[in-house]
Amino acid sequence: MAYLRRVRLAHAHHSLATADRETATVTEIATRWGFFHPARFAALYRETYGRSPSATLRG
């Protein structure tokens, strides 16, 4: 399970980094990759990448 979560998180990270900042949302991208609890996603993302998902989305 941990491996799958890391893979989904990596895909979410890539999606956030390459998304259209005008239309994309963190919630939409997280949900697309199977993260249905925004606070848990944000905590896991920050723990892994050292910044918030919204900071990655903003560039």
Residue 5 confidence (pLDDT):
96
pLDDT digits (tens, 9 = 90+) for 2-45: 999 999 999 999 999 999 999 999 999 999 999 999 999 999 99
Residue 44 confidence (pLDDT):
97
Residue 17 confidence (pLDDT):
98
Q: Which residues span the domain enclosing 49?
A: 2-58
31 vs 59: which has the higher pLDDT: 31
CA distances from 38 to 11, 29, 55 (A): 16, 10, 15
Domain total of the chain: 1
Write phi, then psi, for 44 (nearest 5 degrees): -65, -40
| Nearest CA among 2, 9, 7, 6 for reference residue 56 | 9
Place of tokens 């919204």: 54
**Domain of residue 7, CATH code:** 1.10.10.60
